[in-house]
A = this chain, B = another copy of it.
Amino acid sequence: MRATVRVMLKDGVLDPQGEAVRHALGALGFDGVNGVRQGKVIELDLAEGATEAQVTEMCEKLLANTVIESYSVEMG
């Protein structure tokens, strides 16, 4: 089964990657881009029977730095 984890920097944490993308979009002539935040998406291919609780534990232990990042888990 499949699980998708999305990890984003928390609001208020400076996101230099996102800022770089915003500047680059402006330089390319794309107007009206007010803000950009960049995060990670991690697709896990898991053995049958894996639970959301297990994936949440993976996030807490490895996938996200919960001091500065928030995450969401989507199963299936």
Residues of A in contact with B (beta carbons under 8 Å apart)? 6, 8, 18, 21, 24-25, 28, 30-47, 49-50, 54, 57-58, 61-63
Tell me which residues across on chain B come within 8 A of A39, comparing CB atoms.
40-43
* 8 nearest CB pairs, A to B: A32-B47, A35-B45, A34-B45, A37-B43, A41-B41, A39-B41, A38-B42, A36-B44
**Contact between chains at B47 and A36 (CB < 8 Å):** no
Distance between A46 CB and nearest chain B CB, rounded to angstroms: 6
Which of B18, B25, B41, B58 makes the CB contact (< 8 A) with A30? B58
Which of B31, B33, B44, B62 makes the CB contact (< 8 A) with A45? B33
Tell me which residues across on chain B come within 8 A of A25, comparing CB atoms.
58, 62
